[in-house]
Amino acid sequence: MAPNPDQAEDTFDIARAMLRSRTIRQLADLARDEISKLTPLSDYEALRLQCAIEIGRRAGIAGKGTVTKINGPRDVAMLFEYLEDAKEEHFCTLLLTSQKTVLAVRTVHIGTVNQSLVSPAAVFRDAIRETAASIVVVHNHPSGNPEPSDEDVLITLRLASAGNMLCIPLDDHVIIGHHKYVSLRERGHVRPEP
């Protein structure tokens, strides 16, 4: 079936109007029913638009290449860039070899993070299984502001202490925000083992 040129022009007009009223990030956060209310698109067309936005977002991340070695918090932030847009907190563990290459990435918890949910046992379980030389923990702040809370600092200190006892040091705790990150090592909350 040949595409209708008038329909294609209507689609471009809709896209232009949406981009005038919102940023790409705001469009990506819209639910399908919100897209349907804002445009003359059917639910099916709104779903297609959501899919196209998600494919574009993932293509943008993939174009930056895959991080396989961690030289610092910037590499961690690049590896976990996909968490910038997450609507819930994700607490993840990055398992590393002694050469700081990535062994594995594990999601420990999704949802509100607190000390009881992010226990040392949950964080270090896979590190022990995979014989990781060290770990980095990462979580996102859905608000977009990566500034650490008092709870984030307490969790970091607790995990660093557990890592020292297990001989699997905590290299860093990186908090992901919108186009920003904070390294708790750089802030002085993670110190090398004595």
Cα separation of 56 and 52, whole Å?
Answer: 6
Q: Does residue 65 register a pLDDT over 60?
A: no
Q: Does residue 2 register a pLDDT over 70?
A: no
Q: What is the pLDDT of residues 49-58, one digit of tens each?
A: 777 776 766 6
Residues 77-102: what's their mean pLDDT? 91
Q: Does residue 115 register a pLDDT over 90?
A: no
Q: Where are the domains of the chain?
A: 5-62, 73-183
Residue 47 pLDDT: 75
CA distances from 186 to 173, 183, 192 (A): 10, 5, 12
Q: Does residue 135 register a pLDDT over 90?
A: yes
* Token digits of residue 136: 């980095």
Rg (CA), the chain: 21
Cα separation of 190 and 192, whole Å?
Answer: 7
Q: Which long-range contacts (CB under 8 A, 24 or more apart) does 44-50 make?
A: none
Superfamily of domain 73-183: Cytidine Deaminase, domain 2 (3.40.140.10)
Q: Does residue 128 register a pLDDT over 80?
A: yes
Amino acid, single-letter form, for residue 111: G
Q: Does residue 3 register a pLDDT over 50?
A: no
Residue 1 pLDDT: 44
In this structure, what are the phi and psi dihedrals at residue 60, rounded to the nearest 5 degrees? Answer: -65, -40
**Chain position carrying tokens 């297990």:** 166
Q: What's CA 66's distance to the chain center, in Å?
A: 14
Residue-averaged pLDDT of the chain = 82
Overall size of the chain counted in residues: 194
Helices (H), the chain: 5-21, 24-28, 32-38, 43-62, 73-79, 120-129, 150-166
In this structure, what are the phi and psi dihedrals at residue 103, rounded to the nearest 5 degrees? Answer: -85, -45
In this structure, what are the phi and psi dihedrals at residue 118, rounded to the nearest 5 degrees? Answer: -105, 70
Is the pTM of the predicted complex or chain greater than 0.75? Answer: no
Of 144, 28, 26, nearest in space to 83 by CA: 144
Q: Does residue 141 register a pLDDT over 50?
A: yes
Cα separation of 165 and 150, whole Å?
Answer: 23
